[in-house]
A and B are shown apart, each in its own frame.
Chain A
Amino acid sequence: MIITISHLKKFYQTHQKEPGFLGSLTSLIHRKYQTVSAVNDISFDIKEGELVGFIGPNGAGKTTTLKCLSGLLYPTSGFVSVLGFTPFERKHAFLKQIALVMGQKNQLWWDLPAQETFLLNKEIYEIPDEQYQKTLSELVELLDVESLLKVQVRKLSLGERMKMELIAALIHSPRVLFLDEPTIGLDVVMQKKMRDFIASYNQLHKSTILLTSHYMEDVRQLAQRVIIIDHGKILYDGKLDNLVKKFAKYKVLSVVLDTYVAPDKFKEIGELTDYNFPKAIIRVSRGASNVAAAQLLEKFPVDDLNIEEPDIEDIIRDVFTKAEK
């Protein structure tokens, strides 16, 4: 096990501040403190080379967990071990083997070409010249940024900047990579490129990658294993397919009709969730999906019929709402 978390808890004290000038004054004198439990007893293990998706809504505890794993936060209680080290001790030998990339924060120096920041990191991580050149050219090729190396960072577009951030973060070839919301703020094309890159990087280097996201596409395309977290607790930990099978008790029949059929006629097949002639979407229980499909074809003027898995977003939403109850 390269990453082990056992009964991790992280609580914060926050205080309420009343708005306005009077509020500022009173907050100086008397503060009401509240305990927020960002992470409330989670445990999981990750093996070397795994690519794990860590999903949950905003405020679920994803970023907090990543910060605990990378040493930026000191846990309230529980056991954390990464590569055999205790992260919050921030030993240099540990830091040289990990990388944390957070969407908004950047480490590139604004007024200088990205290349300068790479050189800086080379010295900070004590990367030998040969290895540096090799890693750099590999990453540059993979991300296709050869022509941008000497351009000032502030002149780059958001997508280009993200690529440079990645190179800066990966130049020391970390064994463990933490990615916090890597596709946030990017356009659709860039998102795909980012996902492809992450997948290839994982394949090539067998590095362990833990990424957080609240986009389903990220998860669907990348994660072999998925951990769902909400309100600081783990709701599911396992393969994506199993998630679908376990939580999605239904399948979706998507139909294109030839002639109009009254909505209530579909009741005998299953639950009609969406009807926009000529298209209709019907939910049927998983086991009965084939029978239902056959019935549809027999009794209704069907032009086209598809049996689909339900949308992961819907599944996960269901999981969350179940958890709330």
Chain B
Amino acid sequence: MKQYLRVYRVYAKMSLEALFAYRANFINSFISSVAWGVFSFVSIFLLTSKTSSIYGWKREEIILLTCGYQIMIGIFHTLFSKNFGYMAEVIEYAQLDGFLLKPIDSQFVMSMRWVNYTSISRIFLGIIFLLYIMQNFSIGLDPFIIGIFFLLLLVGLLLLYSIWFTVATVLIWLPRLSNIIELMFNVSGMTRYPGELYKHASEYLFFFLLPITLVVATPVKFLFRRTSIIDISELFAFSIIFFLLSRKFWKFALRYYTSASS
């Protein structure tokens, strides 16, 4: 365990140094990150300005859902996103070999090699709005409740990560998949669109749908004391199950990788 903490500290330091090596990129991503974060709040604010209740959720509850989502997405982007982005490359260009030769868990390296510091702004935005809303709608700022809330968020994060990693593992069988997609994009002329937009579009799809429905809902419900033991245990159970699944599947995929590659 200690080894992993020390290695992660080095990863964090190296990512930070790489960040300063490219000043312009840093500013761009920072503006981008903050802008999208603010956008999430603005849009949810607007959408709920007309109605006080949707599917039984009150306005403040929905806004808090967005806060929870922002915090979770912020943590996810900071820790994992960049690594998922590189996964196809790592597999296609056999950089994975380099990881397999090291006496350290390859899933750990694949998932956590890069830290994306600019996304921390999202986490802060989420927390700030969270506190603001809780103040405004006078929801008790009981530290114990908030603590459990964050704990549940982290458990949800584990679930989100596990699902993502399991899906990404399929890339080991299909590094060609990205080529096929590329081909289809070329045919339909989609490559006109900037890559950044794709990133946000797929974020929308996989982060809005999945976490909102599965993952962020439970912690937020907890905040309003509307959650049940069943909800919470479901979340824990799913997280642990999917995490173990992701590891098993990864090991299985590595068997294939080491048998088939040249």
B-binding residues in A (CB < 8 A):
12-13, 24, 28, 38, 64, 67, 70-74, 88, 90, 92-93, 95-96, 98-100, 105, 107, 109, 111-112, 116, 119-120, 123-126, 152
Q: Give 12 A-B pairs besides A100-B101, A124-B104, A125-B103 with Cβ atoms closer than 8 angstroms.
A: A12-B262, A70-B101, A72-B100, A88-B258, A92-B104, A95-B102, A105-B95, A105-B97, A105-B98, A116-B17, A119-B10, A126-B103
Tell me which residues across on chain B come within 8 A of A90, comparing CB atoms. Answer: 100
- Per-residue CB proximity of B218-262 to A under 8 Å, as 1/0? 000000000000000000000000000000000000010011111
B103 and A96 contact, CB distance less than 8 A: yes
A123 and B6 contact, CB distance less than 8 A: yes
A71 and B21 contact, CB distance less than 8 A: no
Look across to chain B and name the residue whose beta carbon is closest to the beta carbon of A75: B259
Tell me which residues across on chain A come within 8 A of B6, comparing CB atoms. Answer: 123
Tell me which residues across on chain A come within 8 A of B255, comparing CB atoms. Answer: 74
Where chain B touches its partner, the secondary structure class is: helix
B100 and A74 contact, CB distance less than 8 A: no
Number of interface residues of B (CB under 8 A): 29
Tell me which residues across on chain B come within 8 A of A105, comparing CB atoms. Answer: 94-95, 97-98
3 tightest Cβ-Cβ pairs between the two chains A and B:
A92-B103, A95-B103, A123-B6
Among A105, A119, A123, A125, residue most surrounded by chain B Cβ atoms (within 10 Å)? A123
Min CB–CB distance A72 → chain B (angstroms):
5
B183 located at the interface, meaning its Cβ lies under 8 Å from any Cβ of chain A in the complex: yes
Tell me which residues across on chain A come within 8 A of B180, comparing CB atoms. Answer: 24, 28
Tell me which residues across on chain A come within 8 A of B13, comparing CB atoms. Answer: 116
- Per-residue CB proximity of B93-125 to A under 8 Å, as 1/0? 011011011111000000000000000000000
Min CB–CB distance B41 → chain A (angstroms):
34
A112 and B100 contact, CB distance less than 8 A: no
Among B3, B6, B13, B262, residue most surrounded by chain A Cβ atoms (within 10 Å)? B262
Min CB–CB distance B134 → chain A (angstroms):
40
A73 and B22 contact, CB distance less than 8 A: no
A74 and B258 contact, CB distance less than 8 A: yes
